[in-house]
Structure 1
Amino acid sequence: MRDRPYPARPNERLAMAQGENAALRRVAFLIGQLELGGTEKQLCLLARELRLRGVEVHVLVLSRGGPYEQTLREVGIEVHHLGFGREPSGLSTLNRNLMAFVRLVGLLRDLRPDVLHAFLHEGYMIGAVAARFAGFPLVVVAGRRGLRHFERRRGWLLALERVVTRVTDHVVANAVAVAEDARTVEGVPARKLSVIYNGLPASAFEGAEPERVDTSLPVVVCVANLRSVKGLRFLVDAAGMLSRRGRPCTVVLVGEGVERGRLEAQASALGVDVRFVGARNETAGFLARADVVVLPSLSEGLSNAVMEAMAAGRPVVATSVGGTPELLEDRGVLVPASDPVALAEGIARLLDDPDLAASLGAAARAWAGKNLDMDVMVDEHVRLYHRLLETRRAG
C-alpha cells in the first residue's frame, strides 16, 4: 500500500496521550438520509463501533430515514429527524428549512457533542454553519466521499463551499483521490485534510451461499444504485458487444434507482440478458455467484461495492475513476470510464482466463484484509477526533 499524503494521525504515541486528556464522550453524525448507499453504510459501521467503545452517538438526519435507521436503533443509537424539505424551491420550503435549521441548532445545544461529523455535501454545508450558531466549542469534521470536479459546481456554490470549509476544523476523505480533489478544486489546505479508507466488517470476508441465478451463461454482477453516474448504460452496451462476439453473459444488477426503466428498454433493444433484482441489504450471495464483478462508474469516491467484491475474493473490472485505482492497482482490471469497448474487453479477458481471474481475486482479498479492516478505520477516526479535541481545548 502506498503512503497516504494526508495521514490520519501525525504521531501515534502523541495521539494516544492526547486521547487520555481529551476524553471523547459524545459524537453526533449528520447526514441527509439513511437509504441504502455506501456512505450510509460506513456511517452505520462507524457509529456502531463507537457505541460499542462506550461513546454516546447520535445520528441527525436532515430529511428522511431509511433502512439503516433500524440498524442504528437496534444498537442503542438515537436517530433525530430534523425535517428539512426536498421539494422544489418555494416560500413554504424555505420556511420549513429555516425551522429545521433552528431545530438543528437547538438540538446541538441540547446534546452538546464533542464532535459533529457531517457527511456528504448537504450535510457539511448545513452542519458547519449550524455548529457555529450553536455557540459552544465543538469540533466540526466534514466527510468528503466523492469528487467535486465531476459535479461541475457553479462558481458561487464553490465559493460558498470554501467559506464553509474555513469554519470546519477538518476534512476527512475516504480516498487519496478525493483528498487531492478537495485540495485542488476547493482549495482545502493539506493540513486540514486526512485520508481514512472505508472499513469492512469481518462478515465481508466470510463465505456466503451463492444466490440462485437461473442461467447457463457466465454471471456478471454489478452492485450499484441505478443512477446515471454509475455508468450502467455502458455495461449494458458492453454486454451487447460480448453477445455479438459469441460471448454472451447474464448481467445481474443489484440496486434500484431512476435509471431502471431506461436500462430495461436498452437491454430489451439489444437482446441481452439483464436481471434487475432491486435493492438488497445483503449482497454477499450475489457476489459469491459472480464470475466477474463490474463497476462502470463515471465518478467514485471509494466504492463499497468494489471493496466487498475484493473481500469476497471475486475478480473485478472497474473504471479507473476516483479512489478505485487505489483499491484495484495490480489487483483487478481497470478500464477508462464511458468506454463500453474497453469494458467488454476487460470482462472477456477474465472470463477467458480463469487462472488470471482467480489470482486477481485472491490478491484483492489479501490486500483488503490488510488495508480495509473496520477496526483500523474506527481507530483512525478516534485518534483524529482526540487530536482535534485537544487542539480545540488548548486554543
Structure 2
Amino acid sequence: MRVLYVIDSLAPGGAETSLAEMAPEMVSRGVELHIVPLGDRTDLLPELEQAGANVHTQQPPGGRVVNIRRVMHVARRIQPDLVHTTLFEADFAGRIAARALNIPSSSSIVNDSYGPSHYAESTTAKLHAARALDAATARFSTRFHAISAAIAESVPPRLGIPSSRVEVIPRGRDPEKFPFQQEPVRSLTRQRLGIGLGTPVVLVLSRLEPQKGLLVLIRALRTVVRMHPDVVVLFAGREGRAGAALRSESASLMADVRFLGHRTDAAALLTAADVLCFPSEREGFGGVLIEAMAVGCPVVASSIPTTLEVLGEDIGTITPVGDTRGLADALNRVLSDKPAAAASARRGRARFDELFTTDAVVNQMIDFFERSRSR
C-alpha cells in the first residue's frame, strides 16, 4: 500500500513526533510511505529518511493554493492508494488535492479544536473561518482517525462529521526508546544538568503556550518550595506565547527554575525527574504522558478528558484545571511519598505495555488506512 502523508511541518510537535515514531514500523510492514511537509521546519527529516520514508521537500513552502499544487504534483507522480492528512493546513491542502485527483483521503484529528477554551484564546472571527474551511473540506475525507475517545466525541460534531466515520487509535511509543527506570541514565542525566541525586526534580515537557496551564504551575511552586526548598523545575520545550510571562513570574520565586528549550532527550529527562507536571487546559492526547508511563516517571496532571483517558483510574495524581493549591498539594505529595510514587510508576508501565506501544498502534493504523482507501 502506498500512502501519501501530508502534514503541516516536520517540527518536533506531538503529531510530527508520532509520525516519526510510527514510520519505521509502517515501512517494515510493507507500507510505501511518502511524506509531504508543507512548512519549512524539517527537524525530523533525518529520522524519517532513516526509517525508510520518502520525504518530498523539493518545492519551497507557500500559501494554500501553492500547498494544494504541491500535494497534487507529488500525488500525480507517485499515484498513492491513499492521501492521509494531519493538522489544519495539511487537511485543507491534502483533502482538496485528493478530491481533485479522485484519490481516497483520510485525516487524523489530533487537537481539541473549536471548543470553548479554543475560542477563549483565539480571535472569534478567525476561528469561525477556520472551522468553516475545516468542515467544508472534511466532506472529502473517507474516514477520520481520532487520537482519543474524548477527541472523537467532541470535535467531529463541531465539523459535521458522522461518528460512523471516526475511529479511535491512540499514539504510541517504542518501548526500546523509553526503557523503564534506568538508574545509570538517571544518574548521568542529573550529573550533566548539575543536579544532585537526592534533589527533587519537577519536569515539564511542553511548548510554552497558554493552554498548557504552566502559569498555574509557577504559582503553585510558591507553596511547593516551602516543603521542598531545594526543588529544581525543568521546562523543556519549544518557545511559545507564554514564554515571557513564565520567565517573569518565575524570576521572583525562591526556586531553581530552568528553561532548557527544545530537547531531543525526553526519555533521559523523564528518567532523571521525580515527577512530570502536566497542567494543561486542553489536549488532543498528551504523548508525554505515555512517555512518562513507559520510563516510570510519576505524573501530576489536570483533570481534562484526554488525561483521564490516557492515565486510567489508578495512575498519576489528578488535580482540577487551574487549581493552584491543588497542584501544589499534589506535587508535594508525590515528592514526599516515594513508595506510593513508585507503585504508581509500575502500574503506569504495565498500562503502557498493554495499550501504547508503537507495534500495537501501527497495526491499528495500517488497518485504518486499508479501510479508508476502500472508501
- 8 Å CA contact retained: 1:247, 1:348: no
- 8 Å CA contact retained: 1:256, 1:278: yes
- 8 Å CA contact retained: 1:255, 1:277: yes
Cα displacement (A) at 1:290: 1.2
1:242 correspondence with 2:215: no
Q: How far apart in 1 are the matches of 2:88 and 2:109?
A: 8
1:103 paired residue among 61, 65, 70 = 70
2:106 equivalent in structure 1: 141
1:254 equivalent in structure 2: 236
Structure 1 residues not aligned, in runs of 5+: 1-23, 86-95
RMSD: 1.9
1:354 equivalent in structure 2: 338
Q: How far apart in 2 are the matches of 1:343 and 1:378?
A: 35
- Cα distance per residue 1:145-181 (max 9 Å; x no partner): 1101132263343233222111111110110011111
1:176 correspondence with 2:149: yes
Structure 2 residues not aligned, in runs of 5+: none
1:273 equivalent in structure 2: 256
Sort the Cα spacing of 1:120 and 1:46 in 2 relative to 1 into closer, same or farther, 3 A. Answer: same
Cα displacement (A) at 1:331: 0.8
Paired residue secondary structure (1:117)? strand
Paired residue secondary structure (2:8)? strand
- 8 Å CA contact retained: 1:27, 1:116: yes
- Cα distance per residue 1:66-88 (max 9 Å; x no partner): 22111011233221135334xxx
Q: How far apart in 2 are the matches of 1:184 and 1:97?
A: 25
Cα displacement (A) at 1:353: 1.8
1:282 correspondence with 2:265: yes
1:191 correspondence with 2:164: yes
Q: How far apart in 2 are the matches of 1:124 and 1:68?
A: 20
- 8 Å CA contact retained: 2:180, 2:349: no
Deviates more, 1:212-221 or 1:239-248: 239-248
Letter in 2 for 1:389: R
Letter in 2 for 1:233: L
Q: How far apart in 1 are the matches of 2:199 and 2:331?
A: 13
1:73 equivalent in structure 2: 49
- Cα distance per residue 1:21-64 (max 9 Å; x no partner): xxx2x111111111112211111122221111222111101111
Cα displacement (A) at 1:378: 0.7
Cα displacement (A) at 1:301: 1.2
Paired residue secondary structure (1:202)? coil
- Cα distance per residue 1:280-320 (max 9 Å; x no partner): 11211211111111111121111111110011112100112
2:316 equivalent in structure 1: 332
Q: How far apart in 2 are the matches of 1:256 and 1:183?
A: 29
Cα displacement (A) at 1:247: 5.3
What is the TM-score normalised by the length of structure 2? 0.89
2:179 paired residue among 197, 202, 205 = 205
- 8 Å CA contact retained: 1:32, 1:64: no
Sort the Cα spacing of 1:184 and 1:334 in 2 relative to 1 into closer, same or farther, 3 A. Answer: farther
Alignment of 1:1-395 (within 5 A): 24=1, 26-81=2-57, 82-85=59-62, 96-133=63-100, 135-136=101-102, 138-148=103-113, 149=115, 150-152=117-119, 154-203=127-176, 204-208=178-182, 209-210=185-186, 211-212=189-190, 213=193, 214-215=195-196, 217-244=199-226, 249-258=231-240, 259-329=242-312, 330-390=314-374, 392=375
- 8 Å CA contact retained: 2:71, 2:93: no
1:4 equivalent in structure 2: none
Sort the Cα spacing of 1:100 and 1:159 in 2 relative to 1 into closer, same or farther, 3 A. Answer: closer
Q: How far apart in 1 are the matches of 2:61 and 2:42?
A: 15
- 8 Å CA contact retained: 1:33, 1:65: yes
Deviates more, 1:198-207 or 1:66-75: 198-207
Q: How far apart in 2 are the matches of 1:97 and 1:179?
A: 27
What is the TM-score normalised by the length of structure 1? 0.85
Cα displacement (A) at 1:193: 0.3
- 8 Å CA contact retained: 2:169, 2:361: yes
Q: How far apart in 2 are the matches of 1:207 and 1:47?
A: 26
Paired residue secondary structure (2:56)? strand
